[in-house]
């Protein structure tokens, strides 16, 4: 995966703060409202993209540079045919994950698996962990 930094470290904080909100990912998406005041605020983000398959990962860091947000998304696809002449691509598996570090250093993790049924999303769920997802 190749890294595309959205902002630098301490020297670029002023520049990052002056950027429009769209410069940062929607890192609070899927964060339950009841937990919003208990997460560590992400300040700088780095996005990693996989160029050989549809996949990406975002790492968010607080003002001290510690990891406080994690997200990844990927899909696995496969070529299929109903008549051995016309081929089409289907999603066979995948996953969408978001995780936020809480003030007590636990991680709140949102995970939504993808299945072969592209029209019905997998059953999303939340869990807690002592470590961020990998």
What does the pLDDT look like over 84-121, one tens digit per residue? 888 888 888 899 999 999 999 999 999 999 877 766 66
- Residue positions counted in the chain: 134
Q: What mean pLDDT is reported for the chain?
A: 82
Whole-number Å distance between alpha carbons of 109 and 70? 9
The pTM of this model reads 0.75
pLDDT of residue 60: 95
What is the DSSP code (8-state) at residue 64? T
CB within 8 A of 119, min separation 6: which ones?
none
């Amino acid at each position: 995966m190749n890294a595309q930094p959205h902002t630098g470290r301490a020297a670029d904080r002023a520049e990052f703060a002056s950027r429009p909100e769209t410069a940062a990912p929607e890192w609070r998406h899927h964060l339950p409202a009841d937990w919003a005041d208990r997460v560590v605020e992400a300040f700088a983000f780095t996005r990693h993209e996989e160029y050989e398959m549809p996949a990406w990962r975002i790492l968010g860091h607080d003002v001290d540079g510690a990891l406080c947000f994690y997200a990844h998304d990927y899909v696995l696809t496969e070529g299929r045919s109903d008549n051995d002449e016309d081929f089409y691509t289907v999603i066979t598996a995948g996953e969408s994950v978001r995780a936020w570090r809480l003030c007590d250093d636990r991680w709140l993790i949102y995970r939504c698996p993808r299945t072969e049924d592209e029209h019905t999303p997998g059953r999303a769920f939340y869990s807690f962990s002592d470590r961020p997802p990998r």
